[in-house]
């Protein structure tokens, strides 16, 4: 069945780069997404990548997609304490009624130490 896997925890020092990894199983995914959840808040859509792209860059964020290995990563350059949050990756799949839906990973907690 569909599954999205992430490591649960990552700790980095302020100013370093963070790399959050994700693997997924459905090869027919059209879009893959990264969401950020700050403490006590809902999720915020950070960025997404179309499945025929290898890379997408948006300011400090770089998304890399290896479709062959079904591996997605989010790199945050110059990580700041405000980046401390839970990061979720999600893949889009077709549901049984042919509408789309997302499958979310478990979330990676990013801890940024001053």
Partner 1 sequence: DVKVTQSSRYLVKRTGEKVFLECVQDMDHENMFWYRQDPGLGLRLIYFSYDVKMKEKGDIPEGYSVSREKKERFSLILESASTNQTSMYLCASSRPDRIAPQHFGDGTRLSIL
Phi (first) and psi of residue 54, to 5 degrees: -100, -30
3-state secondary structure (DSSP) of residue 109: strand
Residues binding partner 1: number (CB under 8 A)? 24
The residue from 48, 51, 60, 61 that contacts partner 1 (CB under 8 A) is: 48
Binders of partner 1 among 62-101, rule CB under 8 A? 88, 90, 92, 95, 97, 99-101
Min. distance of Cβ 12 from partner 1 in angstroms?
22
Query: Which among 41-49, 54-62, 68-76, 77-85 is the span making contact with partner 1, rule CB under 8 A?
Result: 41-49
| Separation CA 38–CA 49 (nearest Å) | 22
| Separation CA 79–CA 101 (nearest Å) | 31
């Amino acid at each position: 069945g569909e599954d999205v896997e992430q490591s649960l925890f990552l700790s980095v020092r302020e100013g370093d780069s963070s790399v959050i990894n994700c693997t997924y199983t459905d090869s027919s995914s059209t879009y893959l997404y990264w969401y950020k959840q700050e403490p006590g808040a809902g999720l915020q859509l950070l960025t997404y990548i179309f499945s025929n792209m290898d890379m997408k860059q948006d300011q400090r964020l770089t998304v890399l997609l290896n479709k062959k290995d079904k591996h997605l990563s989010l790199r945050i350059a110059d990580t700041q304490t405000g980046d401390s949050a839970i990061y979720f990756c999600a893949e889009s799949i077709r549901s049984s009624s042919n509408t789309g839906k997302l499958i979310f990973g478990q979330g990676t907690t990013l801890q940024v130490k001053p």
